[in-house]
Homo-oligomer: A and B are copies of this chain.
Amino acid sequence: MKLEETVSALISPNEALFEALRREFSAVSLPRNELVFSVGNVARHIFYIEKGLARMFYYNEAGKDITYEFFPENNFMAPSESFLEQKPSPYSIELLEDSELRLVSLDGLNRLLEEFPVVEKIKSHILAHFLYQANRRIVALQFQNAPQRYETLEQTKGNILQRAPLGHIASYLGITQETLSRIRGRK
């Protein structure tokens, strides 16, 4: 079970905790194109993606579909602000491949936190990890040009390039798909 492995890497293993995790995290297999969470709702779950690929996206003022982030297997994924603050999310999440997910509800997470205070550390770790990713993203968007950002993505999440459609990758990079196609062409 991938979730267990990820958790083990964060804290010293503990069988009682693992049992609780198995109890609180339900497993579900969903097909490609499934909308796992949709805009306007309050997030009621945190997901862990054991297999497959998902993307979180939003529609900008012009109504354009913009990919905010990709989540390949072995990652936690959630509209964090919506989930933690229990407010409506501007983002949706959809699957780009047939996927296997684990999900925990807010109640489930709170039970875990109460029973195993060490879970707060896992939470910190996950948040910190999200934050580092976001930081790198900002640096890239702030002062790299399009080919450099593509290069950066290739280095950090190379497999996404083969797995996600062009348009999604382009909006993730903050460019149009025509520009991305040209960048690819020149290499």
A residues neighboring B (CB under 8 Å): 58, 60, 64, 66, 68, 80-81, 84, 117, 120-121, 123-124, 127-128, 130-132, 134-135, 137-139, 141-143, 171-172, 174
> Hey, which chain B residues are within 8 Å of A135, CB to CB?
80-81, 134
Of B117, B132, B134, B174, the residue contacting A117 (CB under 8 A) is B117
> Hey, which chain B residues are within 8 Å of A139, CB to CB?
58, 68
Interchain CB contact under 8 A, B81 and A143: no
Interchain CB contact under 8 A, A80 and B131: yes
Provide the main secondary structure of the chain A interface: helix
Number of copies: 2
Taken together as a complex, chains A and B put the C-alpha atoms of A6 and B172 apart, in Å, by 35
Taken together as a complex, chains A and B put the C-alpha atoms of A79 and B17 apart, in Å, by 32
Interchain CB contact under 8 A, B64 and A143: yes
Of B127, B172, B174, the residue contacting A131 (CB under 8 A) is B127
Interchain CB contact under 8 A, B128 and A80: yes
> Hey, which chain B residues are within 8 Å of A174, CB to CB?
141-143
Which residue of B is nearest A173, CB measured?
Answer: B142
Of B81, B128, B137, B138, the residue contacting A127 (CB under 8 A) is B128
> Hey, which chain B residues are within 8 Å of A132, CB to CB?
80-81
